[in-house]
Structure 1
Amino acid sequence: MKNKTRGLIYMWITVIFWGISFVATKIIVNTVPPITAAFLRFFLSSLILVLFIKTKIKYEKKEYVYMLLSGFFGVTAYFLFENSALQYTTATNGSLIISATPVIYLLFSDILRKSFSHKIRYFGTLLAFFGVALIVLNGRFVLKLNPLGDLLMFGAAFSWILYTVFIEKLHHHDNLAITRDLNYYGMLFFIPFSLYELKSAGTCPAFELWLDPVVITAFLYLGIFCTALGYIWWNKAIRLAGAKTTTNGIFFIPIVTVIADAVLLKNYPNFYTLIGASLVLAGNYIAEIKD
């Protein structure tokens, strides 16, 4: 099997897990403050990865900085921006802005490399983004703009882009050990924010949390599949299929969410969703023609 094909398989598995993760996250944040929920999610994943991955990496000074930046932007900053943004802007705006990440990354990476991708890749990427927009907006092209919330959500998108840039610089090291370390440092960066949130809220959610088996199950799903395994497979996909191709997988997350919504909650997709999904598939196929 070709490396790119293997990379796409890893990407798809991760996209499926991440697409369903919105349901689990919604269950958790009804009980636990959002930043603390993110901290506990990465605490669980870090614990699992530290216990099972024993490979040690001797980072050079510059590489250690890249690792810290990967953990901060790919874990802490991303979820801080996203969770904060959703307090001010709508879920629709948030989904649409995050879905723009592959488009922004394509332009950003080309500027960094001073070498622009083929126009067909740009066309395919933009077509896929339009498909996602059709799904998210449900055919109604009306956005309720909230400057602060939308700006924070763009912060989440750019955080993921910077994570992708920095993690690429570490791909000559063991993938499992890299994922363990970035989860660990990202979790550590969360601690002061979580403590501040709990102090502001004036309550600790731990007792209520562990009494609810549904919340525990949601945490286990997020910590094991979406985070520990999810980051391993996503980083592996970047290594095998390339960052641009893998980042385009973000377009498919809303499609997976729609399917999960239909299967689990019986909320079936409409005409616009089906057309949007078709555009996402077509756009990604076109984008890979000139890879």
Structure 2
Amino acid sequence: MSKNISFAGLFFASISIFLWGITFVSTKYLLRSFSPYEILLIRFFMAYLALWGSKPKKLRLSERKHEIYFMLAGLSGVTAYQFMENMAISYTSASNVSVIVSICPMFTAISLQLFLKEKHLTPFFNIGFLLAIVGVALVSFNGVVNFHLNPKGDFLALLAAVSWGFYSLCIVKINALGFETVVVTRRIFFWAVVFMLPIGIFSLLTQGPSLPSEMGNISVILDPAFNLSRIKNPLNWLNMGFLGLGASAFCFAAWSIACKKLGTVRATVGIYLIPVVTIIFAFFALGEKISLMGAIGAVLTIAGLFVSEIRKS
């Protein structure tokens, strides 16, 4: 039975990591027509509606204080994490962002050890982390000679990784309540959208509706001609649908299942593989070349995953 549970957890974790790896390329494309805030709001509002349609069942909490877990999960894992990630991609390369957010497992392990007293920072975990982070760095650099750090974008990506650690902590507390995954994910998205709305209102009050040439991180564009052109672009709909329905509605629910089956830290370690997926899809979608450095990095990343999972008997 435990083997079946592990295989189910590995399956859902693998699917989530695979689809999340593609999101960097998809988001980079959408940033040509949408601000990071618009992508975030449309993506998760779409995901929220999809989850309501798949299971129109109310979530009834036994204690009102449990709502705090859902609020914090929506704020940390969706609003804060996704918004900072989108902003980071607009400032720096998708490769930079993918390698930096891949250190999420370390912040997850630290959060669980600090707040829940779970001991995860074993010597093998630390060695595996170092191997994997070197691997994802090589995958990210990928032999590009004009690679450079952008402090603003890279710092935002780092803050996103920290935010995911707090989200993982919330997921542990929520999973312990025993609710169905779909209704749990929908409740998290509800609070995420609630926290997103003030950002847009603030943008409209302080800046007004932006023009395409003035598009910033929290812009809301209301120019009729520009809106018509981006709505008529089928690739925009394809990418937004992928982000909202696949990478959000499905993957967040699948990730909760993976955390239940594998344990939060073990599942989160798989995030190391996201840059590997990103670099492969960037090759096909954006024409970026995969160098020997990138191939070596992929091997180191996978090796680090195995090492981090070694446990003393």
- TM-score higher than 0.5: yes
Distance 2:102 2:59 in 1: 34
Aligned counterpart in structure 1 of residue 172 of structure 2, from 168, 171, 188: 168
Q: How does 1:134-283 map to 2 (within 5 A)?
A: 134-138=138-142, 144-171=148-175, 172-197=178-203, 199=208, 201-202=210-211, 203-204=221-222, 206-283=227-304
- Letter in structure 2 aligned against 1:156: A
Cα RMSD, aligned residues only? 2.3
Query: Which residue in the other structure is 1:99 paired with?
Result: 102
1:285 deviates by 1.1
Asked whether the 8 Å contact 1:19–1:257 carries over to 2, the reply is: yes
Distance 1:236 1:22 in 2: 23
Query: Which residue in the other structure is 1:48 paired with?
Result: 50
Q: Is the partner of 1:201 in helix, strand or coil? A: coil
Distance 2:164 2:256 in 1: 12
Asked whether the 8 Å contact 1:35–1:197 carries over to 2, the reply is: no
Asked whether the 8 Å contact 1:28–1:37 carries over to 2, the reply is: yes
1:93 deviates by 4.0
Distance 1:122 1:113 in 2: 19
- Letter in structure 2 aligned against 1:138: N
Greater CA drift, 132-141 or 75-84: 132-141
Greater CA drift, 5-14 or 118-127: 118-127
Distance 1:129 1:27 in 2: 26
1:119 deviates by 1.2
Aligned counterpart in structure 1 of residue 21 of structure 2, from 5, 19, 22: 19
What does the per-residue CA deviation read over 1:71-97, in whole Å, with 9 as the maximum and x for residues that have no partner? 111111112222333454554543332
Distance 1:3 1:63 in 2: 27
**TM-score normalised over the length of structure 1:** 0.91
Asked whether the 8 Å contact 1:77–1:156 carries over to 2, the reply is: yes
1:20–1:89 CA distance, 2 compared to 1 (3 A): closer
What does the per-residue CA deviation read over 1:90-132, in whole Å, with 9 as the maximum and x for residues that have no partner? 5454333212211222233223334533211221122111111
What does the per-residue CA deviation read over 1:42-81, in whole Å, with 9 as the maximum and x for residues that have no partner? 1111111112212322222221010011111111111222
Query: Which residue in the other structure is 2:40 paired with?
Result: 38
Q: How does 1:115-134 map to 2 (within 5 A)?
A: 115-117=118-120, 118-134=122-138
1:70 and 2:42 are equivalent in the alignment? no
Asked whether the 8 Å contact 2:99–2:275 carries over to 1, the reply is: no
- Letter in structure 2 aligned against 1:30: R
1:200–1:175 CA distance, 2 compared to 1 (3 A): same
1:90–1:46 CA distance, 2 compared to 1 (3 A): same
Distance 1:9 1:161 in 2: 22
Greater CA drift, 256-265 or 38-47: 256-265
Asked whether the 8 Å contact 1:46–1:180 carries over to 2, the reply is: yes
1:43–1:96 CA distance, 2 compared to 1 (3 A): same
Query: Which residue in the other structure is 2:214 paired with?
Result: none
**TM-score normalised over the length of structure 2:** 0.85
Distance 1:90 1:246 in 2: 26
1:29 deviates by 1.5
Query: Which residue in the other structure is 1:29 paired with?
Result: 31
What stretches of structure 1 of length at least 5 have no aligned partner? none
What does the per-residue CA deviation read over 1:159-201, in whole Å, with 9 as the maximum and x for residues that have no partner? 1111110111111211111011111221221112134446352
1:148 deviates by 4.2
Distance 1:258 1:146 in 2: 19
Q: Is the partner of 1:170 in helix, strand or coil? A: helix
Asked whether the 8 Å contact 2:95–2:275 carries over to 1, the reply is: no
Aligned counterpart in structure 2 of residue 58 of structure 1, from 57, 60, 80: 60
1:74–1:283 CA distance, 2 compared to 1 (3 A): same
